[in-house]
Copies of this chain bind each other. A is one copy, B any other.
Amino acid sequence: MANEKKNNYVILGLLSHSTMTGYEIKKRLNTTMRLFWNASYGSIYPTLQLLKKEGHIISSETTEKGRDKIAYMITQKGREYLREWLEKPVVKDELRYETLLKLFFGNEVGATITIEHIQAFEEKIKQELPFLKASVAELKKLDSEIAHRYYMLTAMFGVKTYEAYLEWCEDAKEYLEQEEKISGKLR
């Protein structure tokens, strides 16, 4: 098996929820899904064209007030292709924390700079957490609509992990501040 082209499934998945344009797909990835996936325009538009050629989706072009837009809809064939993949076990979760990478090599630049990286990470998480919590609260109200319950799972995941991140940030900063004192004394 060659390279898997996950984008096929990401796009089909979103189109299984509703008809969308490429632009709207990107917006979903940047909002609802930002916690666990991303894809660039450079992969979205070509993939849409391929999926269409393969009969997994169909398109309908409209001109709204002078601006062209192409909305895509999943076909039965596309739905089956998606399901096949969804039923297969997960191959690999792929995490690339640039923050942790810089931390891991932190000895090269010292505790002060490393603490700054942790601080920046903490601030970003603190900023996003309230929105995640608001999502969970709102989704709770829509509990009876089964489709929303799968979104809920990912939002719950976000809250749990983000809270763990924040706990770690405090621990990590404290741990490094000890070092700063030690190496400060030695100098």
Q: Is A57 an interface residue (CB 8 A)?
A: no
Give CA–CA (A147, B94) in the complex, Å: 26
Say whether A37 contacts B96, CB under 8 Å.
yes
Docked complex Cα distance between A82 and B106 (Å): 11
Interface size class of A (residues with CB under 8 A): 35 or more
Chain B proximity of A136: nearest CB distance (Å): 11
**In the complex, what's the smallest C-beta–C-beta distance from A109 to chain B, in angstroms?**
5
Hey, which chain B residues are within 8 Å of A109, CB to CB? Answer: 83, 86-87
State which of B10, B90, B101, B104 has its C-beta within 8 Å of the C-beta of A120: B90
- Identical chains bound together, number: 2
Stretch at the interface among A18-26, A44-52, A65-73, A166-174: A166-174
Q: Given A93-B96, A96-B95, check contact A161 B153 (CB 8 Å).
A: no
Binding site for B on A (CB under 8 A): 6, 9-10, 13, 16, 33, 35-38, 79, 82-83, 86-87, 89-109, 113-114, 116-117, 120-121, 146-147, 149-154, 156-157, 160-161, 163-165, 167-168, 171-172, 175-176, 179, 182-183
